[in-house]
Amino acid sequence: MLDELLLATAAAGGTAVVQAAGTDVWLTLQRHVAGWFGRGNPERETGAIRRLQDTADQIADAEPQAVESVRARHEGFWQGQFEGHLMDLPPDAREEAVAGLDHLVELLRRTEAAESQQVTVKVNGGSGTNNTAIGVGINNGHVGNVYSQPASSRTEKAAELVGHVRDFTALLGPDHRNVLIGRANHANAVGESGNPSEAARLYGDVVDHWSRLSSPADPEVLMIRYQHAKWVGEAGRAGESVRLYDDLIPQLAEAHGTNGRYVLQARRWQAILVAEAGDAERAVRLYNELIAHQTDLFGEDDVDTLEARCYLAQCVGAAGDAARAAQMHDALCSDLRRVLGPEHASLVVAERWYHFWHTYQEGTPLGWRVFHPLSFYSPSWRE
């Protein structure tokens, strides 16, 4: 039997795993936990990695109303895994293992404390921290994520992920799904560090590799293709991104249903990129269809519906009606104040674009930023 202190440590370990699942620290924690279970045995490490990834996948795939019960179930599962492992160890090895598990839990706590300084104001999430910059949560399938760390810190994060991918490749081989997921995470970090063109290239390499192993319609490949299309658009290659979305969206809808959040987000991005590629009138039609769909699903005051209205106004302006675009942003500002409050970051964005279209001089070229109104990653990193 384990004493109460060891049981509490195991419980804390279970909580740490579930809290980290799907976050920026997941690869780091996954690697440490797998090493803790493996104790130098590659087969045990691989088995632990597989179970950890199953946990992350099930939490990510859970319906909103079921996510808490899924998380609770996996907390209990991992508490049992830690308890069982500790019970199997001889007393002299158990003390070292407990110290290692305590270290893992403390690692997560320190990371969470650091992340409390992050800036993650979600225009389409209706929540955020009161910090000094504005971001849009990418982990919810949305655009970009800006942190209070300098760009060098985001570059360091990308470099750290290179090391993780190298370690996982040596352990599991280049074709293992966790290696490919790690490569995708690295690609995203490269984009967040200010290099969307390189992120698009890296994502494209992962798509090609994974598609050769399974199918372009594989659910996991679809999500990598989803991110690839996004970063191609962020890199300023609108026409190419539109073609990627045109091919992707029907397959996403088949896999996730027409009401799936990734399907709806892909449609939002497709439409604004259609406008950037030169067909603003088609983009207006696409956004009107999308907003009608989202209003039926979520209501007029849903934050995703409000975000789509921001993009629609940009398309209307790009189609040649700057006055109408300004009116639409003005109405959106009123609704944002009412729904999200006068201090919400999304109001700053809408007010900025109201002023842009209200003072717009006909014939003035429309730059990249007009078609990426919520993005913090311009292709040149200078706009």
Instruction: Note the pLDDT of residue 149.
Output: 40
Instruction: Give 127's strand partners.
Output: 122
Distance CA 317, CA 357 (A): 7
Report the pLDDT value the prediction gives residue 132, as an integer from 0 to 100.
Answer: 29
Token readout for 320 is 């040649």
In-domain check, residue 106: yes
| Same domain, yes or no: 325 and 178 | yes
Number of independent structural domains in the chain: 2
Distance (Å, rounded) from C-alpha 376 to C-alpha 146? 7
The pLDDT of residue 290: 95
Burial 186-200 (b: 16+ CB within 10 A, else e): bbbbbbbbbbbbbbb
320-347: per-residue pLDDT in tens?
999 999 999 999 999 999 998 888 778 8
CB half-sphere exposure, 143, CA atoms < 13 A: 29
Identify residue 115 by its one-letter amino acid code.
E
Residues 147 and 8 in one domain: no
Residue 59 lies in a domain: yes
- Residue 16 and residue 145 share a domain: no
79/273 Cα distance (integer angstroms):
46
**CB-CB contact of 350 with 334 (8 Å):** no
Residue at token pair 């209205």: 309
Same domain, residue pair 165 and 70: no
The reply to whether 79 and 165 lie within a common domain is no
Q: For residue 306, give the 3-state DSSP assignment.
A: helix
Distances (CA, A) of 78 to 37, 55, 75, 89, 175: 12, 9, 5, 17, 27
- The domain boundary, picked from 57, 83, 115, lies at 115
In terms of Cα–Cα distance, which of 127, 6, 136, 139 is closest to 60? 139
Q: In the prediction, which pLDDT does 377 show?
A: 44
Classify residue 183: in a domain, yes or no: yes
Q: How far is CA 43 from the centre of its chain?
A: 31
Q: Residue 138 has what pLDDT?
A: 30
The letter for the amino acid at 46 is T
pLDDT for 127 equals 33
CATH number at residue 148: 1.25.40.10
Give the separation between CA 41 and CA 107, rounded to whole angstroms. Answer: 23
Q: Which amino acid appears at position 39 of this protein?
A: R
Domain boundary among 115, 150, 175: 115
* Neighbouring residues of 304: CB distance < 8 A, sequence distance ≥ 6: 124, 264, 294, 298
pLDDT tens for each residue of the chain, 383 residues long: 446 667 777 788 888 888 888 776 777 777 778 888 887 777 777 778 888 888 888 888 888 778 888 888 888 888 888 888 887 777 777 778 888 788 777 766 665 554 443 333 333 333 333 332 322 233 333 223 333 344 456 678 788 888 888 888 887 889 988 788 889 888 988 988 888 999 999 999 999 999 999 888 888 889 899 999 999 998 989 999 999 999 999 999 998 899 988 899 899 889 989 998 999 999 999 999 999 999 999 899 988 888 889 989 999 999 999 999 999 999 999 999 999 888 877 888 889 899 999 999 988 888 877 887 765 444 433 23
Indicate if 84 and 157 belong to the same structural domain. Answer: no
149 and 92 belong to one structural domain: no
Question: Both 209 and 250 in a single domain?
Answer: yes
Whether residue 382 is contained in a domain is answered as no
Q: Is 275 exposed, middle or buried (0-12, 13-18, 19+ CB in 10 A)?
A: buried
Look up tokens 């990249």; give the residue: 368
Spatial neighbors of 198 by CB under 8 A, at least 6 apart, are: 190, 191
Residue 262 sits in the same domain as residue 309: yes
Residues 194 and 93 both lie in one domain:
no
Residue pair 234/375 in contact by the 8 Å Cβ criterion:
yes
**Does 31 map to a domain?**
yes
Strand partners, 122: 127
Q: Is residue 323 part of a domain?
A: yes
Residues 207 and 75 in one domain: no
Range of the domain at 252: 138-371
Q: Structure tokens of 10?
A: 């195991």
79 and 150 in a common domain: no
Residue 120 lies in a domain: no
Q: Is residue 318 part of a domain?
A: yes
